[in-house]
Amino acid sequence: MVPVMRVSSFLPTQVNNFMRIAEGGGRNVALSLSTMFKYLVAVPKGVVKIIGMTCLVPCVSKVLGRDRVREMVLARQDPLLSQNSKDRLLTTIDGSLEFANAREKSKAIWEGTMREVNMVAEMGGQAPNPVMLRHQGRTQCHLLSGANPGKPLVINFGSSTCPVFMANLEKFRELTEEFCEVADFVLVYTAEAHPSDGWALRDNIKVAKHRTLDERYLAAQKMLKLEPVKCPVMLDRLDDEANKAYGALPERLYIILDGVIVYMGQQGPVGYKVSEVEFWLDDYRSQLS
C-alpha cells in the first residue's frame, strides 16, 4: 500500500519548507542589493581615483613643484616612520607623480577598487582562512595556522615593490619584538604592488609579476634580504586567494583574535598605519595587566 500523508501533518512541513526557502531567498536578495550598492559606490570612486592619479596628481605636481608634493605625501604617512624609512620612500615618490604608465596605473587602481567591493573580510566578522605557503620550508598551511586562543594575531600584507610597505617594515619589526609576549605576527607576501612589467615606479625595487610560486618565493627572499623580519612569512598562492579575501593589495594590516577580525586597517598606501596596530596592542596589553 502507498502510505497516505495526513493533511494535518503535510501542511506544516510544506509551509515550513516554503518559509525556509523564502527566508533564504530574502537573504540572497539582501546580499544582491548590498553588492549592487557597493558597486554603485565603488565604480564612480574608482573612476575618480583613476582620473586623479593619471591626470590630476601629475598636473598638481607640476604646479606645486615636486618638493611641495613630497612634503604633502610624507605628511600623510605614519607619524612614527623613521627618517631612514622616509628617505627611502622619497626616492620612489616621483614615479607616481608622472604621466607615464597611465594604462597600467589605471588598471591597477581599478582592480584595487574592485577588490574592496568583493573582499570577504569585515570588521567583527570571522576571519577568512585561505591556504598559503610557508616561506620557510615551502610547505602548505592555512593563514590562521599560527593563531593561538586568546592571543591576537597581527597579519601584515605587502610586497617589496610597494615603497610604503617597505618603509614601514623597520617599525613592524620593532613591534614584533616589543609585543611578542602578548601577540603573534605573520607577514604575507602578496602579488607585487608595482611590478617592473606593470605600474612600475622609477628608482623602485625591480620585481616582475609572479608567474610561478618560485618567482614569488624569490621575491620574498629579496624583501627579507633588504628588511629582515622576526616573524613567520607566508606566501599568498598564485590564485591570490588571501589578497582577494582581505583586499590586501597594495598593503594592509589586520588583527585577528579567536578567529574574529578585531582590527581592520584601511587599504594602503594612505590607510596603512603601523602606529594604529601599536596603539591597539598597547591598549590590549594594558588590559591584561
Transcribe 46-78 into DSSP letters.
HHHHHHIIIIIHHHHHHHH-HHHHHHHHHHTS-
Q: Tell whether 62 is covered by a domain.
A: yes
Amino acid found at 41: V
How much is the pLDDT for 50?
44
How much is the pLDDT for 243?
94
Amino acid found at 285: R
How much is the pLDDT for 18?
39
Strands 252-257 and 131-134 come out as: unpaired
Q: Answer for the pair 169, 227: CB distance below 8 angstroms, yes or no.
A: yes
Structural domains of the chain, count: 1
Q: Tell whether 278 is covered by a domain.
A: yes
Q: Tell whether 10 is covered by a domain.
A: no
How much is the pLDDT for 38?
53
Count of residues for the chain? 289
How much is the pLDDT for 107?
74
Q: Tell whether 87 is covered by a domain.
A: yes
Which contiguous run of DSSP H or E holds residue 25?
Answer: helix 7-51
Cell 634580504 belongs to which residue? 225
How much is the pLDDT for 211?
96
Grouped pLDDT means (10 residues each) for the chain, 289 residues: 38 43 46 50 50 49 58 65 64 55 70 78 96 94 94 97 91 94 97 89 89 96 93 96 93 97 90 93 92
Strands 184-189 and 233-236 come out as: parallel
Q: Tell whether 282 is covered by a domain.
A: yes
Q: Which domain holds residue 226?
A: 15-288
Task: Measure CA 26 to chain center.
Answer: 31
Cα–Cα distance, 168 to 274 (Å, whole number): 7
104 closest CA partner among 197, 208, 212, 209: 197
How much is the pLDDT for 14?
41
The pTM is what? 0.74
**What's the CATH code of the domain at 39?**
3.40.30.10
How much is the pLDDT for 234?
97
